[in-house]
Amino acid sequence: MFNKKFLKHYYIMLIPAIVWLVLFNIVPMFGVVMAFEDFNPSLGMWKSPFIGLKNFKYMFQMSDIKQIMSNTIIIAVGKIIANLIVPLVFAILLNELCIRKLYRPIQTVVYLPYFLSWVILGKIVLNIFGFVGPVNSVINYFGGESINFFGTASLFRPLIIGTDIWKNFGYSAIVYLATMLGIPPELYEAAAVDGAGRFKRIWHITLPGIKMTVALLAILSLGNVLNAGFDQIFNLYNPLVYSTGDILDTWVYRVGLVNLQFSLATAVGLLKSVVSLVLITLGYWMADKFAGYKLF
Amino acid sequence: MKLKKLVSLMLAGTMAMAVTACGGDGGSTPNAGGESSDTPVESGQEAGGGETAGGETGSEEVSGDGGAQADAGGSRALQPFAETVTIRMGHGLNPNTTFAEGETLENNRYLQWLKEDLNIDVQYDWVCSSNDFGQKLNLCIGSNTLPDAMNVGQTQFLAMLKYDQIQPLTGVFEQYASDRLKQYVRSGGDTLMDAISYNGEIYAIPAPNLTASGVNTMWIRQDWLDELNLEAPKTVDEVFDVAKKFVEAKIGGDNTIGIIGPASGDQLTGRGGNRWGLDPFFGAYNSYPEYWLQGDNGIEYGSVQPQTKDALAKLAEMYAAGAIDPEVFVRSDALEPVTAGRAGIFFGPWWCGYTVDRVTLDGSQEWAAYAAPLAADGKFYSPMADPTSSYVCVRKGYEHPEVAVKIINYLIANEQDWTDKGMTADTSTAGVYPLFNVYDNADEIEYSYEWLKKFNLGEVKKEDVDVTGRKLLRNDLDAIEVMKLDPKDDFSLEYWDLDNEMADSNIPRLVSIMVGMRPLMEEGYEPVYNVYSGQTDTMAAKWANLQKLEEETFAKIILGQAPLDEFDNFVEKWYAEGGQEIIDEVTAAVSE
């Protein structure tokens, strides 16, 4: 009896969340029909002429869709991988830091760029890599020619991935550091007593201790495969690097929002969502299989 | 469970698009804010590419010209409604706008005056940052929830027209528009009427663009020219040569830039008034990228003409020789090296006197404008701007379209008076007044230049200058009288009274007119007009890609990252990927 009441109580608390979900997540789903219509707002969603898969066909017939898709995937996958490894290495190094006094300041400093928007960071990055910026000054000092970093297509992707890591790794590292704090210190003491050195301890205690978290983050980030980061690229790209830097989102921005192509923008959004859904489902299955993680 | 996931993923997708929208706008924000003094007017001008006459309301002490009386005659322009009429609108509010104590956007003196004098009750359904206004309105278009009246740009105007969301205003305009509003609209000529008309009816009340703002001239460091004993360059090769000499002499330091071109976010060529663009170079080769032209064999698109290749070849040569900013297209802000005194030449409209205002006022740099580079026949060809970029439209189904017209009439009739009496100082008209635009004559700058020049040289008396319907001319006359030192016909920096206490608010404008407008008036130019500014069906779908192709190809050719012959591939591709269809559609549309 008590149990039933207890449950009811919880369900009542859930109501606001469910209302929110229905209003903002389920109802707008009907808007997906726009992807299959030639949407005319004055006719509305239900009366606009239905054109089937024309928007999708158009999208895939476009001559540079391959380029845009591969840019998106390469940049996004690069970011996913780098954003797993760099914070991990950083977190381990920080965890092993001997001078504990520096622990907090370092963490705070690397955490800082996370809070700035790309509008500002974009300008900073462009200036750092500009002709009179510090990077080229160093190159000139050693007798090299100035490099037009953001005007060279082949350098654009590494720069995008690199600056993205710079912005985010401090934040991601916190998750790892938190997990490391959860590893019982007795394990380290016992290992030390048994004669394990620093590297042995990392290898046999720290890494296994955070294995689950790493796997989980890796798997969940799969859903971002088509999100290469609009804000960042929009603030850094230019016509010279379209060939390696133009991604789905920037393309949708130019086609959809500047020219008010609602249907096409919806179609692309839908495509992105479907791909993400498949990958997340796959990731969830993998999380269960390899890490034993189950949400439901 | 599956459903929930599906849903949240879809939402994630939608949100990504929303973020797209916001990020897009954010991108342009720092440019607008970072440039100049805090007068909303000027930052508006800089940010908006200067297509409107933003500078017009800039100075604070402006004398009246009896405009209020001009409209007071028995017409219906300012007749109050018998019963209160409500109009529901949205507003894009500049976050820096300040209000007088106790006033808000929903409750301020302008709205009270409109209520008292015209019996119009203005209600705001939503308010957003002025930077987000376009996006918010796009959303309203998409969801068919337009405000009763709105102030929009061309893209939105055409979209609303296409979706049949706005009502014709011909009758209302005829009946209710004040004489001055009609005069302003007439000053834009037939091209302006065409821009706002559809099927013989007008669908918007436009704020005409200043004709002069469409012309990019060459702004050059006169003090550098003098220091190196150089003549002002005229032809393409002379400009090239001077730019090279600036760089070689390291006159602005180790990183001297000869010609500063478009930064990231600026445009290489644009439809008029394209500060930092290199349009005059293309003009010198009779090439007009992005313009629809009436050629001998029908409608042509400027970017794919063979002359464009010649212009690109020259620009590539100049870039390779170091005459053009090595960081062109990539640089985050073109103004920065100019202010820092590292740049020798840039291209922009007459109002670039405002662009260099700080360095002018502190006397550190002297800029002069010339109509250059000239084409082979010695003429200066300039692509012209669209006749307007501000359209006031009324939603279909709103019963009182005349309300919008009256709100504009009221602004035009009283704006001057308010400024004179200091009634706008603490709550700016430009930021707060509903449907605000700078309504002015398209020939304002030409007219001002002509009379200021005559007055300055003592050829006419101040009283003899007809300032009727001219908002700032009286003030300009007063200002030039005290701030222009002898000799009156030499506009070098040393002959301006930069120490005058009113210099800050007047010199940038006077320099803009007397120096920036000079080449257009004295050296003359050949205007080239765009014949089509709408959007055809194929354009809607394919234009973004063609434009990407164009931007990428041109930028790469100039920087030497692609061979010149890449241009031929571009042309071929352009026709194949929708260009030909679009030309056919535009031809059909123009011949209608």
Annotation: CATH topology of B216-383+528-563: D-Maltodextrin-Binding Protein; domain 2 (3.40.190)
> What is the pLDDT tens value at each position of chain B, 592 positions in all?
344 444 444 444 444 444 333 333 333 333 333 333 333 333 333 333 333 333 333 333 333 343 444 444 446 888 899 999 999 999 998 888 888 888 888 888 899 999 999 999 999 999 998 888 888 898 899 888 999 999 998 888 988 988 899 999 999 999 999 998 998 998 888 888 988 998 889 999 999 988 888 899 999 999 999 999 999 999 999 999 999 999 999 999 888 999 999 998 889 998 877 899 999 999 999 999 999 998 888 899 999 999 999 999 999 999 999 999 999 999 888 999 999 999 999 999 999 999 998 899 988 999 999 998 999 999 999 999 888 889 999 999 999 999 999 999 999 888 878 877 777 777 778 888 999 988 888 888 999 999 999 999 999 998 888 887 777 888 889 899 988 888 888 888 888 988 888 888 888 999 999 999 999 999 999 999 888 887 888 887 788 889 999 999 999 999 999 999 999 999 999 999 889 999 999 999 888 7
pLDDT at res. A195? 86
Distance of CA B77 to the CA centre of its chain: 28
Question: Is residue B559 within 8 angstroms of chain A, CB to CB?
Answer: yes
Residue from B2, B3, B4, B14 to probe the interface with A (highest A Cβ count within 10 Å)? B14
Per-residue pLDDT tens for A148-168? Answer: 999 999 999 999 999 999 999
Size of interface A-B (CB pairs under 8 A): 177
The first and second tokens of residue B499, run together, are 């120490």
Task: Return the HEC string of B407-456.
Answer: HHHHHHHHHHHHHHCCCCCCCCHHHHCCCCCCCCCCCHHHHHHHHHHHHH
Would you tell me how many other CB atoms lie within 10 Å of the CB of residue B320? 12
Pick from B20, B330, B544: CB nearest A240: B330
Question: Is residue B6 within 8 angstroms of chain A, CB to CB?
Answer: yes
The first and second tokens of residue A114, run together, are 């996370």
How far does A144 lie from chain B, in Å, by closest CA?
Answer: 16
Pick from B24, B29, B573: CB nearest A234: B24
CA distance B38 to B132: 19
Find the closest chain B residue to A250 by CA distance: B20
pTM: 0.80
Domain with CATH 3.40.190.10 in chain B: 59-212+387-432, 216-383+528-563
CA distance A165 to B139: 33
A25 and B8 within 8 Å at the Cβ level: the answer is yes
Of all residues in chain A, the percent with pLDDT exceeding 70 is: 96
The first and second tokens of residue B157, run together, are 């105007």
How far does B27 lie from chain A, in Å, by closest CA?
Answer: 6
Residues comprising chain A, all counted: 296
How far does A175 lie from chain B, in Å, by closest CA?
Answer: 22
B327 and A254 within 8 Å at the Cβ level: the answer is no
Element (H, E) at B344: strand B343-348
Superfamily of the domain at B59-212+387-432: Periplasmic binding protein-like II (3.40.190.10)
Please report the DSSP string for B535-570 in residue order: --HHHHHHHHHHHHHHHHHHHHHHTTSS-TTHHHHH
Edge-to-edge order in the sheet of strand B257-259: B257-259, B343-348, B217-221, B367-370
Name chain A contacts of B21, Cβ cutoff 8 Å: 253, 257
A28 and B11 within 8 Å at the Cβ level: the answer is yes
How far does B264 lie from chain A, in Å, by closest CA?
Answer: 6
Per-residue pLDDT tens for A237-275? Answer: 999 999 999 998 888 888 776 677 788 888 888 888 888
Per-residue pLDDT tens for A82-135? Answer: 999 999 999 999 988 878 888 888 888 988 899 999 989 998 999 899 888 899
CA distance A70 to A68: 6
pLDDT at res. B27? 34
The mean pLDDT value of chain A amounts to 86
- What average pLDDT does the segment A173-195 reach? 89
Residue from A273, A294, A296 to probe the interface with B (highest B Cβ count within 10 Å)? A273
Pick from A146, A152, A255: CB nearest B544: A255
Would you give the DSSP letter of residue A149? G
Residue A224 pLDDT more than 90? Answer: no
Question: Is residue B144 within 8 angstroms of chain A, CB to CB?
Answer: yes
Domains of chain A from N-terminus onward: 1-52 (no CATH), 63-291 (1.10.3720.10)
- Res. A291 pLDDT band, cuts 50 70 90: low
Name chain B contacts of A151, Cβ cutoff 8 Å: 327, 329-330, 559
